[in-house]
A and B are shown apart, each in its own frame.
Chain A
Amino acid sequence: MASHIVVLFKKELRVIFRDPTVLVGTLLIPLVLFPLMGSAISVSEQAAVRQLAEMEVAFLSLDGADGNGTLGDAFYLMLVSTNVSVQNATVTSASAAVNWTVERDLDTLVVLPANFTEEVAAGHRATISIYQVLKNFGPTEGAGSARVEAVVAAFNQAVAAQRAAAGLPNATAAEALYPARAQTHSIIHGTVRDVAPEIVINTVLGASLMLPLVVSIMIVMSAQLAATSVAAEKEQKTLEVLLTLPTRRENILAGKLLGVFAVSIVGTLAALIGFSSYAGSITSSLQTTDAAAAGLVPEAQGYALLLVTLLLAFVASLALAVLVASYAKDIYGAQSLMSVVYLPVFLPSIVLMFTPVEILPPAVQAVIYAVPFSYPSLAGKALYTHDYGVLYLGLVWQLVFVAVVLFLAARMFSTEKVLTARLSFRKRKRKAPEEG
């Protein structure tokens, strides 16, 4: 009997892997497309960084103040200290400076008004004009003006700090301006860590963002393969001969499930490799910390639960797909019927990607816990929270669900229903199927 299962398993692998659409969907897209998408994001980011580094700013000071150490000079030095390339416009008016800037193909023009130092020193507000040249209207073109605005903000802080310190001789400028500061810590598993909470959350986000999505893709892909495998037997008219071969029907089902499972594992690994490259590009800009240093170390128990819930979700989706596809006449029909499986798979994952289940309304929580496909995502989060209680209960529920679905699938294959079952949304006509 075991040898029959092996023969059937090998046949499934051959049939599935020789399908070009499976190779493209299972291997090519995850291994090529995801990293390409990630590379595209990296290239864009690098281009933006390069653009910022090569930024050239034209500077015109109409400030009439004489001598060194004027506030206009101070602003100029702050601008230069940001490592932008600053060119002094050799004109005498703002309008002429605009033309001067455009002729030299510079990015940004900064104009200090006349009497800048005098006005600021007197406690009045002076307006620094910033002109940004827009050529291709890309999202990074505003970076020049944003950088100059940051310099203006820094200048304002410096001046304000000096004014505050003048009234408090024992305080530094920063202490005078900011009498109180915040220092945040995170308590993780009862231990205080000198890491800000948002940094810890960003670190976990990098992992928890990826897992539900990859799990959902993996489950849907494997279900699709299983459904196609069954429907293809009907469409290619191979099912009847298969069912008359001297082997138990359970062997045929086992061979199919194992074959699809093996292909799904390969596809999942490809998706994990590809998607981790893509996700790394998205989360690289987030400030993160060393997970181990922050006490975010998954335990063996957590890994074990993740693996088991994942396995059970897999098996459940495969068995459900076989059941559903048995009611289809062909591959197209099977794929249409499979849409009823996708909703319970994707919905919890999308919700759990961004929201912890604990803060959801009770009714939504109940739905999440009722869906057997939610538990791998919950287990992924529990890797860091170490909160396993609900997972063990969920494991029992998953086992029951899998047992029931496998039983129904085996029953379907063991009887003539696998040949005669049809799902029709039209009014049933009283007619015997495929009689001769």
Chain B
Amino acid sequence: MPDPMPEAAVALDRLVKVYKGGRRAVDGVTLTIPPGEIYGLIGPNGAGKSTTIRILATLLKPTEGQALVFGHDVVNDAMDVRRIIAYLPEDAGAYERLSGREYLEFCASFYEGDRAAFLERALKVADLGERVDDKVSGYSGGMKRRLLLARTLMTRPRLAILDEPTSALDVINAHHVRRTIRSMVKDEGGTAIVCSHNMLEIEFLCDRVGFIDKGKILGEGTPADLKRQYGAENLEDVFLRMAHHG
């Protein structure tokens, strides 16, 4: 008797999203992400990346097709999905009048488990020191992003959905965030899907990448395999050649 296929962390099957006005933002995306993988979703502006991950995050409903997160349907089992994911939007904010600690405690309240442990983990990821008790309104952009990343990772989500995780961060903060994502996800057997325009970041973080343009997946593979396949020096060249041939 063969071993049963391990359940995919993410399974998208001919996913379509059509907005009012008829624009097909996602046009038949099919991909699978196994547990424990960090998957990069790359594409130009308007390619359908954010729409795809917002569907996974249960913020949008697909027009056609199916999206499963560890076997749970994002439409019919939305609450089950929300219990096992954590979503970091590109331009997320935190409540300006709460302190960093209060914000983390607020978010932790909704999850089952040891909330003190969540908070301790969050404080370690955020690395804000005493500033964690200051109001968020006084934080720099980098501090806010670290706080939000801490919020995302503190509950050890089975799937972390990260949209431009190092957006608007300086080199030092960006480096810290990338290393944190990689270590936290890999060390704890989690899975992550990362959207980014930063090809270096994708190469550093991701086990596999998928290229999306005009709502369709153009190609997938490990960064090394893709560069070899397209004779490119970097992923940017891979994408440009893929888009040209597609």
B-binding residues in A (CB < 8 A): 3-4, 7, 11, 14-15, 18-19, 236-238, 240-241, 243-248, 415-416, 419-420, 429-436
Contacts and interface: CB of A to CB of B under 8 A. Distances in A.
A-B pairs, top 4 by smallest CB distance, nearest first, are A436-B50, A432-B19, A237-B93, A430-B21
16 contacts: A7-B106, A7-B110, A14-B102, A18-B98, A18-B135, A237-B91, A238-B94, A241-B88, A241-B148, A244-B82, A429-B21, A432-B19, A432-B25, A435-B50, A436-B51, A436-B54
B197 to A, nearest CB: 11
Contacts of A4: 109-110
Nearest to A11: B106
Contacts of B110: 4, 7, 245-247
Interface of B: 19-23, 25, 45-51, 54, 57-61, 79, 82-83, 85-98, 102, 106-107, 109-111, 135, 148, 151, 163, 195
- The winner among A15, A18, A19, A436 for most chain B CB atoms within 10 A is A436
Contact of A240 (B21, B23, B51, B87): B87
A246 B46 contact: no
A156 B188 CA distance: 104
Nearest to B24: A432
B89 A246 contact: no
Contacts of A434: 50
A245 B82 contact: yes
A432 B21 contact: yes
B51 A236 contact: no
A377 to B, nearest CB: 35
Tell me whether chain B's interface is mostly helix, strand or loop, or mixed: loop
B98 A433 contact: no
Given A246-B83, A430-B22, A435 B95 contact: no
Contacts of B19: 420, 432-433, 435
Contacts of A19: 97
A82 to B, nearest CB: 62
A142 B79 CA distance: 76
Nearest to A248: B79
Given A248-B79, A435-B48, A241 B23 contact: no
Given A11-B98, A241-B92, A244-B87, A436 B49 contact: yes
A321 B109 CA distance: 27
A245 B23 CA distance: 28
A435 B46 contact: yes
Nearest to B87: A244
A430 B24 CA distance: 12
Contacts of A243: 58-59
A371 B68 CA distance: 47
B23 A246 contact: no
Nearest to A419: B59
B51 A435 contact: yes
- The winner among A18, A19, A240, A247 for most chain B CB atoms within 10 A is A240
Contacts of B79: 246, 248
A416 B85 CA distance: 18
Given A435-B46, A436-B51, A238 B93 contact: yes
B97 A432 contact: no
Nearest to B136: A236
Contacts of B90: 436
A7 B109 CA distance: 7
A18 B51 CA distance: 34
Given A244-B85, A432-B19, 20 more contacts: A7-B109, A14-B98, A14-B102, A236-B96, A240-B59, A243-B58, A244-B87, A245-B107, A247-B110, A416-B59, A416-B60, A429-B21, A431-B23, A433-B19, A434-B50, A435-B23, A435-B25, A435-B48, A436-B51, A436-B54
Given A436-B45, A436-B48, A431 B21 contact: yes
Contacts of B49: 436
Contact of B98 (A15, A244, A429): A15
A434 B17 CA distance: 13
A248 B111 CA distance: 13
Nearest to A435: B25
- The winner among A7, A245, A416 for most chain B CB atoms within 10 A is A245
B97 A436 contact: no
A285 to B, nearest CB: 45
Nearest to B43: A436
Contact of B61 (A15, A240, A416, A432): A416
Nearest to B26: A435
A245 B90 CA distance: 17
Given A416-B60, A432-B21, A14 B91 contact: no
A237 B96 CA distance: 11
Contacts of A14: 97-98, 102
- The winner among A416, A430, A432, A433 for most chain B CB atoms within 10 A is A432
A241 B50 contact: no
- The winner among A11, A432, A433, A435 for most chain B CB atoms within 10 A is A435
B111 A18 contact: no
Contact of B95 (A3, A238, A247, A433): A238
Contacts of B48: 435-436
Contacts of A237: 89, 91-93
Given A7-B106, A245-B110, A236 B93 contact: yes
A164 to B, nearest CB: 79
A241 B151 contact: yes
Contact of B20 (A236, A240, A246, A432): A432
A420 B85 CA distance: 22
A277 B140 CA distance: 46
Contacts of A7: 106, 109-110
A333 to B, nearest CB: 17
B12 to A, nearest CB: 16
